[in-house]
């Protein structure tokens, strides 16, 4: 070996053994933006043998303040093609595979199967859930990273530990269901200081190197939050869901990974919705003129037998026209999505619409008393 890697090889605990593990490793980076650029640069320089990079985007001017791989004279060019060329010049001894398209349900399993671990450098919830679910199915670790204004989040999910036969901790243990469209302004960027994804993306590269070499302790089981303005970190120990979503092939094939960024055409906030308590709900549901609508996704627990129909939030747009001419009482897990669903229904149909306050959580709590 030449002296390219000498400064890390001489580190205590590193040595040629760790360097050889890096050279043999295959890492897939999904997203070549603010997180993906620094993660890629450091992994290439460190000598990770094979790196796949996925992104359908081209370089735009507003990318340049945080995506330092790209230059002003490269606007409009495909990101992964540029990145792969530059990385070959940085370190000709490693392989960079460029995939100029997005990760989708139909290509995800095939893509990820070829790699040892995945770095999530995406900027959408649905991509994060897609990466999570495929990694769970294929038993691959992945490194989560995300930013929101001046703060960043980081964790390692689905690391396969020999000592633990239970299903590893993954993203759905933090947030079992993707936020409904109104819940987080995910598509609308709230703004970001370029250095923040630089920090988080670089930390993702560091976690990747630790997973590959076995050095130190990874963030598996911990969510790390970095606050740039306060220059402070905050860690939370993640607890496995007691009744976790079972991620199997059927779940994967029926899950909707595409609706996240769909915003309703109507402004649903215009419609005030009457939120009813559990007692009122118990009375109302006996009324034959009241139609109980469950808007939870199909995989959510527990199943219930007192809804007249289940139309998941993700399919509600097409389902509203099928609702009968009755008063509609919308229910969900916590009573949050149901308010939004009720507003959507009211915007389109001239019906009385209620939402069960506190959702099924409140219902089962009262029932168990």
Partner 1 sequence: MGINVLFFGSLTDATAVAALNNVAAGDTAALQELLHQQYPALRTAKYFIAVNQQMIRENTTLKTGDVVALMPPFSGG
Site residues, partner 1 (CB under 8 A): 31, 33-36, 121-125, 128, 145-149, 151-153, 174-175, 179, 182-186, 189-190, 192, 197, 223, 225, 227, 234-239, 241-242, 336, 339-340
Nearer residue to partner 1 within complex by CB, 148 or 327: 148
Euclidean distance between CA atoms 369 and 364, whole angstroms:
9
Nearer residue to partner 1 within complex by CB, 51 or 177: 177
Smallest distance from partner 1 to CB 4, Å: 30
Which of 135, 187, 261, 329 is the catalytic position?
A: 187
Nearer residue to partner 1 within complex by CB, 123 or 300: 123
Smallest distance from partner 1 to CB 212, Å: 22
Of the candidates 288, 328, 293, the one whose C-alpha atom is nearest the C-alpha of residue 313 is 293
Nearer residue to partner 1 within complex by CB, 94 or 247: 247
Rounded (10°) angle between helices 79-90 and 36-46: 30
- Based on the residue annotation, tell me whether 329 is a catalytic residue of this protein: no
Euclidean distance between CA atoms 85 and 67, whole angstroms:
15
Nearer residue to partner 1 within complex by CB, 22 or 117: 117
Strands (E), the chain: 26-30, 50-54, 95-99, 117-120, 142-148, 151-157, 222-227, 232-237, 274-276, 290-294, 309-310, 327-331, 353-356
Smallest distance from partner 1 to CB 33, Å: 5
Long-range residue pairs from 81-84, CB within 8 A, at least 24 positions apart, any chain = 83/32, 83/37, 83/40, 83/53, 84/53
Euclidean distance between CA atoms 236 and 224, whole angstroms:
7
Smallest distance from partner 1 to CB 11, Å: 30
Nearer residue to partner 1 within complex by CB, 16 or 229: 229
Smallest distance from partner 1 to CB 199, Å: 13
Euclidean distance between CA atoms 194 and 49, whole angstroms:
28
Q: How far is CA 223 from CA 130, 207, 231, 299, 367, in A?
A: 19, 13, 17, 25, 34
Nearer residue to partner 1 within complex by CB, 122 or 213: 122
- Based on the residue annotation, tell me whether 261 is a catalytic residue of this protein: no
196: Cα within 13 Å, side-chain hemisphere? 22
Euclidean distance between CA atoms 114 and 91, whole angstroms:
22
Smallest distance from partner 1 to CB 249, Å: 25
Smallest distance from partner 1 to CB 336, Å: 6
Which of 37, 135, 329, 332 is the catalytic position?
A: 332
Euclidean distance between CA atoms 142 and 163, whole angstroms:
19
Euclidean distance between CA atoms 233 and 369, whole angstroms:
41
Question: Residue 142 forms beta bridges with which residues?
Answer: 118, 157
Length of the chain: 369
Residues annotated catalytic, as ranges: 187, 332
């Amino acid at each position: 070996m030449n002296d390219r890697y000498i400064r890390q090889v001489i580190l205590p605990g590193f040595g040629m053994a760790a360097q050889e593990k890096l050279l043999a490793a295959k890492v897939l980076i999904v997203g070549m933006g603010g997180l993906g650029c620094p993660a890629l640069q450091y992994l290439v320089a460190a000598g990770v043998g094979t790196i796949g990079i996925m992104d359908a985007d081209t370089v735009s001017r507003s990318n340049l303040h945080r995506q330092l791989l790209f230059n002003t004279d490269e606007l409009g060019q495909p990101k992964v093609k540029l990145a792969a060329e530059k990385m070959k010049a940085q370190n000709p001894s490693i392989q960079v595979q460029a995939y100029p398209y997005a990760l989708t349900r139909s290509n995800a399993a095939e893509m990820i199967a070829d790699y040892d671990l995945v770095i999530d450098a995406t900027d959408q919830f649905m991509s994060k859930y897609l990466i999570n679910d495929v990694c769970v199915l294929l038993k691959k670790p992945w490194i989560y990273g995300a930013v929101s204004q001046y703060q960043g989040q980081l964790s390692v999910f689905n690391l396969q530990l020999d000592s633990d036969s239970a299903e590893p901790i993954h993203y759905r243990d933090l947030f079992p269901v993707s936020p409904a469209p109104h819940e987080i302004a995910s598509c609308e960027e709230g703004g970001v200081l370029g250095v923040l994804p630089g920090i988080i993306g670089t930390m993702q590269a560091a976690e990747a190197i630790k997973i590959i070499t076995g050095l130190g302790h990874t963030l598996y089981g911990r969510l790390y939050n970095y606050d740039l303005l306060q220059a402070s970190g905050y860690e939370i120990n993640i607890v496995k869901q007691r009744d976790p979503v079972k991620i199997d092939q059927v779940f994967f094939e029926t899950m909707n990974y595409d609706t996240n960024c769909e915003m309703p055409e109507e402004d649903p906030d215009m419609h005030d919705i009457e939120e009813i308590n559990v007692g009122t709900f118990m009375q109302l549901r006996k009324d034959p003129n009241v139609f109980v609508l469950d808007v939870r996704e199909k995989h959510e627990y527990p199943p219930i037998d007192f809804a007249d129909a289940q139309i998941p939030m993700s399919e509600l747009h097409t389902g509203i026209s099928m609702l009968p001419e009755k008063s509609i009482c919308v229910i969900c897990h916590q009573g949050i999505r149901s308010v939004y669903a009720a507003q959507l229904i009211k915007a389109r149909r001239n019906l009385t619409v209620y939402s069960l306050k506190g959702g099924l959580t409140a219902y089962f709590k009262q029932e168990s008393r």
